[in-house]
Amino acid sequence: MTRTARLHPDGLTRCPWPGEDPLYVAYHDTEWGVPELDDRALYEKLILDGFQAGLSWITILRKRDNFRKAFDDFQPEKIVRYTSKKIHALMNDVGIVRNRAKIEGTIASAKSYLKIMDEGPGFSKFLWDFVDGKPKVNTFKTTASVPASTPISIKLSKELSSRGFKFVGPTIVYAFMQATGMVNDHLVTCFCHESCAGKRRTPRLKVK
């Protein structure tokens, strides 16, 4: 398995993990590692990373639009009001990963998210304070060098768990930190390693 950056037919050198899958390559190029500062979007990504546990990210990525539709575009204000009837409907939705514990965990995490939003300056600042408000830029040359978790992800995992969030183990949290640009783990030879630094994600319009 390739562990170093790969040169693609378009002339760009990328991390090896997206392979040639167009959807995965687009995600790698435009989302992964780009700093995300939007509160709701961070909640969505944390939940989707929790659903990924035991699966591959590409599986979740292919179902992301279905997840957004099923979970009211991951608006915590709506999710906290989910009833047993709604949970039953989600368990019968073939477009998502049907796992009752993770569905119920999404509701519990929405409650915890809203509490953070009510108590302080927001979910985004709460998270980004763990990296002093700016991305931690790593300089890995191979994917074998990239850790599965770090002291910071362990600390953040414990804090999220203590506040009632579910499926937020240190490995899930580190994957979340990588995806949302809290850490830049693009390999140094990947064209995104340098370009991520000056980027900031544009908030996605909510689905009506």
Residue 193 annotated in ligand binding: no
Residue 4 CB contacts under 8 Å (≥ 6 apart), including other chains? 16, 141, 142, 143, 187, 189
Residue 88 annotated in ligand binding: no
End-to-end CA distance of the chain: 43
Spatial distance between the Cα atoms of 199 and 53, rounded to a whole number of angstroms = 28
Residue 186 annotated in ligand binding: yes
CA 172 vs CA 82, 91, 177, 179: distances in Å: 24, 23, 9, 11
Residue 8 annotated in ligand binding: no
How would you classify the pairing of strands 183-184 and 13-14? unpaired
Binding-site residues, in ranges, read: 15, 28, 186, 190
**Residues of the binding site for Zn(2+):** 15, 28, 186, 190
